[in-house]
Amino acid sequence: MGLMDKLRGEFVDIIEWLEDSRTLLAWRFPRYQNEIKQGAQLIVREGQIAVFVYQGQLADTFGPGTYTLNTQNLPIMATLQGWKYGFNSPFRSEVYFVNTRPVTDLRWGTPTPITLRDPDFGMVQVRANGLAVVRVQDPVVFLRTVIGTDSSVDIDEVTELIRREISQALSEIVLGTQLGAIDLQSRQTELSGKLRDTVALRVDDEFGLAIDSITMNVSLPDEITQAMTRGVAQGVEESGRIRQLDDLDKYQRVRQIDAMNSAAGNPGGGAMGDMMGAGMGVVLGQQMANQMNQQGQPQQTPPPLLQDSQTFHVEINGSAAGPYNMGQIREMVSNGQLTTHTLVWSAGLAGWMPAGQVPALVSFFAAPPPLPGQAGSPVPPPVPSDSTDHASGAQND
């Protein structure tokens, strides 16, 4: 190596940081015994800040760009070194590069659970975790309080600091809101914003850091999660049961109307058909009135259909007996066991009613009219004879 090469190696011509890691927050340029000469090039890339330190004192700061170092752009350094008329000889100074790009994958979590008073479950312990986006906001403060004399600072060196601040702030916020465990989980987004604001105020002036965002996930105890799961399952089951009852109600009403229309359209002829049609209309009217009266009241199981196979319960000696089908009812009417005053009940009726007022049973009590010529039957008018006509004609003559 020649003399010129040796002398050239003692001076620094280009000062730059080529590290592209996002986790490395600060790095000191390795000057060793080399000195910075006048006219040296300083290259600061986007997301970097360069800070000159002379004998432990902070000097000039440079943002992104390319600089030719001289007295004009090193005013603080010139003052510290007493360069009244500029400098022609090399000088020694430490140069720190600070990474100002955000670190987006800082994970945090509560080291111990937070105990809160829940209105439903009593004393409950909850945990939380998430991600924080951190960056260096003030390189000068960061250099003083964090870097010190270190040659480099990684994000791991401030991770514990930020985690501790987040956990403490979260505990204060949770206890201050007095929310229950379930409400706490449902308002995670709102609480994350408050948590970010609180932590940012604690680390900006003290450490020169900025907290751009914090995401939070609240974890509930297993017993609460299981209770919520059982409650949801029960609610789904009850909802399905209500839908089944509602579908059954609609199905029964359609069947009932079809049965009534069929009976009214094919009554069997004569007065019996008219009476059956009128009876079906009365029953339908009663049911519609009951439904209107029950609006706004708790839903009850709808009455079963009124079909040809309808059965009745009969009041016998103060007790309910039955059910009896229509053939048995007819036989009980025939032997006098069931009269028009006997109370009966069947699905579709509003309540117990005298048998003589139930449309479906009215026909069982209707007595046939007496035959012509029997006592009590109407006497037909006399038919005029031919002799009477002749006698009447003779008198007229």
- Alpha-carbon torsion angle 59, 64, 65, 71, nearest 10: -10
Considering the domain 103-224 in this protein, what is its CATH number? 3.30.479.30
pLDDT digits (tens, 9 = 90+) for 31-48: 766 678 778 899 999 999
pTM of the model: 0.53
What's the pLDDT at 214? 94
pLDDT digits (tens, 9 = 90+) for 356-373: 888 888 888 877 766 666
Helix (H) or strand (E) holding 146: none
Taking CA atoms, 359 is separated from 58, 110, 248, 276, 354, in Å, by: 107, 75, 25, 7, 11
Share of the chain above pLDDT 90, in %: 25
pLDDT digits (tens, 9 = 90+) for 120-164: 788 888 899 999 999 999 999 999 889 887 888 999 989 999 999
Residue 117 pLDDT greater than 90, yes or no? no
- Alpha-carbon torsion angle 371, 375, 376, 380, nearest 10: 70
Give the bridge partners for 304, in sequence order: none
What's the pLDDT at 390? 45
- Bigger pLDDT: 384 vs 158: 158
Closest CA to 102 of 12, 4, 209, 194: 209
So where are the chain's domains?
3-99, 103-224, 312-363
CB 276 within 8 A of CB 264: yes
Cβ contacts of 231 within 8 Å, gap of 6 or more = none
Q: What DSSP assignment string belongs to 235-254?
A: HHHHHHHHHHHHHHHHHHHH
Closest CA to 218 of 107, 109, 111, 117: 109
**Average pLDDT estimate for 196-204:** 93
CA distance 11 to 33: 9
Least confident interval from 103-107, 197-201, 350-354: 350-354
Number of continuous H segments (helices) and E segments (strands) in the chain: 11, 17
Residue 25 pLDDT greater than 50, yes or no? yes
CB 357 within 8 A of CB 346: no
Which residue's entry shows tokens 């003290």? 206
